[in-house]
């Protein structure tokens, strides 16, 4: 799991020229309370001559492979309203416009945003696309699971004596639950 998360975040931050972080935050996290962002990347590499090793994309044809990989990338997001998004593409492939149209259909530009949020880096890099989206986050379902488990442990008074020993009481847990539920509620209102 950590390898997948690292690969997605590397697709966002490790370019040959640095990403403009203020633009990313402005485009993807416009609201002070909605700061959960999904980042997904796909990489298209050509099959090595005489090798059985190839990329994880369904097709080795660079154009159709890039389109198929983009569809696979977009299918990995849950469907709800997106309040912000940023697309980063690297490398060179002739189907770039078609791929960006596919992403645009799945993540239409939010009405508050005046210009498309895409950036590119050097064409000498291997072809890849990274999509950052806020609003279609998978983190909300995980937060709900953690909240449910934490409440069960609190109700059972599991480990409370250890927390009390270090100055943390039940009210601290209740405040944390309220804050997490508020985050979940705000994202639910967006979808």
Encode pLDDT of 16-62 as tens digits.
455 566 666 777 777 766 777 766 666 654 433 333 332 333 333 44
Task: Convert the pLDDT of each residue in 103-116 to its tens digit.
Answer: 777 767 777 776 66
What structural domains and CATH numbers belong to the chain? 2-137 (3.30.1330), 140-190 (1.10.287)
- Could you give the strand order of the β-sheet that contains 127-134, starting from the edge strand earlier in sequence? 38-44, 127-134, 84-90, 118-120
pLDDT score for 186 = 81
Task: Convert the pLDDT of each residue in 75-113 to its tens digit.
Answer: 555 555 677 777 777 776 666 777 777 777 776 777 777
Q: Whole-angstrom Cα distance, residue 166 to residue 162?
A: 7
pTM (2 d.p.): 0.57
Rg (CA), the chain: 20
pLDDT score for 70 = 57
- Region for residue 13 given its phi and psi (left: phi exceeds 0; alpha: psi -120 to 50; beta: otherwise): alpha
Q: What value does the mean pLDDT of the chain take?
A: 69
């Amino acid at each position: 799991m950590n390898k997948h998360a690292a690969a997605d975040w590397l697709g966002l931050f490790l370019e040959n020229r640095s990403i403009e972080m203020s633009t990313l935050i402005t485009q993807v996290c416009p609201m002070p309370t909605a700061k959960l962002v999904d980042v997904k990347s796909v990489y298209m590499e050509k099959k090595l001559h005489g090798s059985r090793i190839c990329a994880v994309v369904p097709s080795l044809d660079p154009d159709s492979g890039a389109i198929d990989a983009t569809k696979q990338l977009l299918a990995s997001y849950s469907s709800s309203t997106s309040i912000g998004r940023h697309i980063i593409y690297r490398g060179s492939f002739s189907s770039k416009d078609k791929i960006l149209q596919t992403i645009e259909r799945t993540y239409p530009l939010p009405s508050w945003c005046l210009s498309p949020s895409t950036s590119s880096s050097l064409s000498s890099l291997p072809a890849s696309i990274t999509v950052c989206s806020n609003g279609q986050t998978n983190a909300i379902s995980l937060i709900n699971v953690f909240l449910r488990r934490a409440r069960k442990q609190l109700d059972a008074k599991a480990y409370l004596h250890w927390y009390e020993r270090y100055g943390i009481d039940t009210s601290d847990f209740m405040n944390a639950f309220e804050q997490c539920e508020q985050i979940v509620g705000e994202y639910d209102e967006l979808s």
